[in-house]
Structure 1
Amino acid sequence: MKLSTQINLGLFFIILLAGVGAGSIEVYQTKTHVERSANALAEKTVSQIAGQLSALLSRQSPQQRSEIDENQLSEDSLVSSILTTALTNDKLSTISIENTDGIELVKKESASESSSKSILSNVIELSVAQTQAVIGSTSTVIKVTSSPKTHYHFLWQQLLKIAVFCVAVYLLSVIAVMVIANFATRPLSKVAKKLNEIQNNDFTPSSIKSATADFRYLVSAANNLSLALESKFQELTRQAEQFKSVASRDTLTKIANRNAFDRHMKALIGGISGPKEHSLTLVRLAQLTTINHKLGMLAGDNYVCGVADVLKKAGQDNFNGAFVFRISGGDFAIISEVQPNDVHEENLALISKSFTTINPLRDGNKAAWIGVARFTNSMSMKEIMESADSALMAATKRPQGWQFASDIAQVHSNSQWRQRLEYVVSQQYADILIQPVMNLERNTPSYYETFARFKDKQTNDVIPMSQLIPASERLDLIPQVDKLVTSIVFKKLKVTSHQVAINISNASIANTEFREWLIQQLSEHEALCHRIIFEIQDAALIHYNEEAISFCKRVTQLGCRITVEHFGDNFASLSGLRAIQPAYVKLSGRLTESIHTNKDNQLFVSSLLNIARSLNIKVIAEKVENEAESVALNNLDIIHQQGYYFSKPALWTVY
């Protein structure tokens, strides 16, 4: 019930009691007045009439006066006139004359008294006075009875005035309470609105003023809260801006990473100036996996750093306007101005020779494959990457190890990839690997993340996901791949009790047919939903915001949970968290790597942790490689961790 309504009810009962009290006092005073005035009036009237009749009788003989009878009095017009005149006073009821035997000789009654009756007379009884006197020297008696009719009328008017007054006071009080309550509680409405805005991550400072001292402390608390949160949010924004440079740099090689590559490419192809040609050189390390397996991860990291140094030097010395990027584990890119093919080939030969020199295996095999594609700002990102990837695939069959896209039939490479992917989908099989996401408080897995591995038809080797995913996206086949993986996971869940996470690509989230298919599958496997977590990239909340939010809401309604991975790579994803309310966010591996020595990362991770906790979201640190990183993350109160330190992905066997 509203405060104003409660106050008005209280006022109603108070005014009602006041009205009843005032009415009771008025009734009491009227009764007292009637009792006193009626006696006085009756006595006065009796005295006057008796005097008039005595005077009338005095003109008769003694014998006549003593023999007054009923007929004489009733026939005497003067007597009748005297009595009638007396009854014109509406405060008198009856006047009668009686003999010594009590027999009425004459009786006059007020006409209005017999024709009307007060409503209040049924509820309130007022006193009626009766007085008598002897007429002159006769034995005849005159009696006068007062009438309360006038007093009833007066009392009714007074009670009605009290009632009208009470109603008027109540209505005015209601209006006053509503106005005052609205004025007084208006700051509370603003406080509630501000708290809702804070809940929706709008930390704009407020300057709400309290109209009353009673609410001043609450208004002040809301103002201080919004001011403190705005200050904190600005600090986080400042830290995010500072971290952009860090997030755009590969932590191992210290050169620009995939995020920087994507932004740079979008800037080039999104320009409004006339067409200008650029060159994209993709470099893929052919033996990185072998080096990691044979010589260890440290040797592989050293090799990757050596390759980055070679490419940086080549970009400075041999390419015009060059920018070097590491876009994935063993893939690098150089964006530069266009060179003649012969000059470009000379530079590629120098690069290949340098790679051979730093290759720790030194087994004579080709160290890297290189594909080169030219592009203008009229081309799309998909077209450019497709062209460069086709050249890279063709380079694997050339002795020198590089290929220009302009010298090959691009369709040939796409046809090969389509055949490989269609074969993978047609087999309806994949090896599913799982890796635990550990809860360090309980020392048990919170859930297992699943990974799919597909084998090539010809070589029976595992197709690297860094190649398969881009090719699948380019050929619009990735929803088919995600369908296959999801179906296999569903089958395994029926015979196990694991809680598992399924990675859903951005292309599948953007695909309406895939989303509807997945919802139908979940509806058919509703008993499994509480054990399923879907991992989506935070980039999906930027590039496919509406589709991602709709997807997340529908699967969570069915009982599934959501994990947003790569949290911290894309700063615009912070606003999307509020809309989907995921169960977990998974920090980008760039933030967790060497976090025990990186103070900037510790500060930024702490800020992201505060944001996630304010939304009741649990935080997972991925790619935890050693004890030092795990301890540092644990000190930051991140108890959900995943990485090689706990377990490598292992084949999921259910039989």
Structure 2
Amino acid sequence: MRTMGFRLRLALFFVATLVTVQLLTAGLVYEVTRRALVTEGERQLTANAQAFVAQMDDISARIGGNVEVLSLDYALRSAIAERDRGTVLSVLRNHGRRVGASRMLLIGLDGTVEADTAATSSTPQRFPFPDLIDDAYDRRTAAVVALDGKASWMVVVPIYAPQPVGLVVVNVPLDDVLLAHMQRLSALPRDIELATQSAPGRWDVVARGDRHTGLVDSLASAHRGLPWKPLLTEVDGKEYMVLAQRLKQPKQGAPVVAVLGYSLDDALSPFRSIAIAWATLLALGLGVGLLGAWFTARSVSRPVEALAAAVRRIGAGDYRTPAGTRRHDEIGQLAGAFDAMTEAVRQRELRIRHQAMHDSVTDLPNRLAAEASIDESLGGQAGGGALLMVGLTRAPEIIKTMGHALCDRLMRDASERIRRVAMDAFLARTSDTQFMLWLPRAGQDAAIAAGLRVLDALNEPYQETDVSIDRLPSVGIAMAPADGRQADTLLRHAEVAQFAAAGSASALSFYDAATDPHRPERLSLMGDLREALDRDGLLLHYQPKFDLASQRTDGAEALLRWNHPRRGWVAPDTFVGMAEETGNIHRVSRWVLASALAQVQRWIERGLALHIAVNLSTRDLEDAELPAWIAALLSIHRVPASCLTVEVTERAVIGEPDTAIRILRGLAEQGIGIAIDDFGVGQATFAYLRHLPVSELKIDQMFVRHLATDANDRIIVRSIVELSHQLGYRVTAEGVEDQGALDYLAAVGCDHAQGFFIARPMPAEAFATFVGGQAGQAAGGSRR
């Protein structure tokens, strides 16, 4: 959602302020007017109620006067005296029409109805309101009564001749017509209703004025009683002031009240024209205010918007100075300060970018700049190129010995020498000890030539006053696209090649994926190895150890094998070294020990008395719990300790001699044999071995493979065997590949022999068959 602009916000602020003030003013005026009208409504209702009662009294007086004239009528008095009911009714009807009565009655002195113009039966009845008769002799009596769901104004006048002979009752209906007539002749409100009580709390309307508002019904639906004081309520969605006025009535009849209403909406109607005029003025004011606010906001926001656009350009890397705002107010000062800030930021950005992309010591492009340049070069042409990684092997040693200051001077000198022979190559410093040259479209020959020039330039010692330092340079080369199509891949591969070159005689090496120890597939292979250990996916093969004295196989060396589900058979050298690097070798060694001892137990149960040899890693000799763990395994599988020999290399012992000797002694004290593997090619001597609990030496195969033809090897092997026996060691020769070597080893007293000539490593069942076959041959030979 787009954010509202400053210009629009400022305009809306002015307009909102104006609207708020006007609305508050209108609300205040409305509330004051309304309160005044409510007060006026209360006053008018009270006055109208009194006026309505006064009108009813006037009607009573007029009717009473007419009835008094009637009482002087001789014919009427004669008819009453003679009991001429027909004449009486005729006179009453005629007079009732003149006064607007709906019913005329002649009441006897005993309260019996003697004549009734509305009677349908001649049976005498009692007058229902005797209190009106009793009061009529003293004064003119009138009251509002409710009969048969209708209201009427009943006037009672006595007839004298000269003594009272009866009473005439005039019944004038209080209906809608009469109420409307009274409203036209007076200031009665338009909303008036007469209601009679039909049951406790229930009022029924018996007459209405000229407007049927429904005052009584509305009060009943709101569960309110009749208000004897002015009450503000809502009728059909409109506000009314309502008042109920009791009317004069007899004691025996149902009460009849007048309910008057005062409409506040009607009272407010004269003010609508004022409200329309006010709304018109408000709209005009809003329009003018909006235009004024818009132009005011525009004069402020346009220079701010120009500065915002300049900020966006700067954010995108465009530091062009924006056109100055020609103003002399605060915004003009802001624009000037912003221009100065832009230039300062541009200068700092250039310095920061240069520092971020260059080496501070040599001022050469750094690794990040080199990657960008190489990727750009590879993306723009298909010819590839050569990446040379130049490393100074002695740089870390120089820093430790001479300090960083001299090393920095040495690196600056190296960068100048490389620059002189680099020609058109892109030169960068990629690490503290390495430089890089990128030769676009160069082949292997050009890369070798460039590498040799760099080596020649750097092989000359660095000279200072009393210092001459050899840098021992080395160059690794990665070719694009064969060794990678991206800069980071090429740099990584060139670095691997440089590390390989540092240990070679030529000091120059090309990247070889087959020998790369950091290949991604090695990482997945390590994960697969852990899974194979969890699922028991490794195997043990057993290479026979041939006893030269008895000419029989009496033991085996357990060799680890892995048949990968996707890669097939994986060479042990491939994954064992990785396991040592990643720390997984402990799990591997423990799995081998447990599996080998379990197999020895099965051979013992089959009657094969064999001992087993298991190789331990350098990392295993750092595990202080190893002797206890092996002791537990021997106990679990019920295998004698003398049946187990652990083989370790000279390098494993020499790396951490104190720890290794302590662990080996712990094993030897249990009766486990200790063998030194690959003896003769490491750094161990017989004098050093005297400190180890060694029971066996295994002569490396490089001295055994050519025993039949090489006199020097025979001398070395014979000397090792004789000296070992004098020191109490057994001797095993590895790598026996012909009969001549086997015969010579037997002749010089070697104890055991291993090699492909005797047998290759084989699975456990095949090994058992192989040993059983030898036993069968020996038994056959003894019988012969």
Does TM, scored on the shorter chain, surpass 0.5? Answer: no
Higher relative contact order (CA 8 A, sep 6+): 1
Tell me which interval the TM-score lies in, with the shorter structure as reference length: 0.3 to 0.5
TM-score, normalised via structure 2 length: 0.36
TM-score, normalised via structure 1 length: 0.42
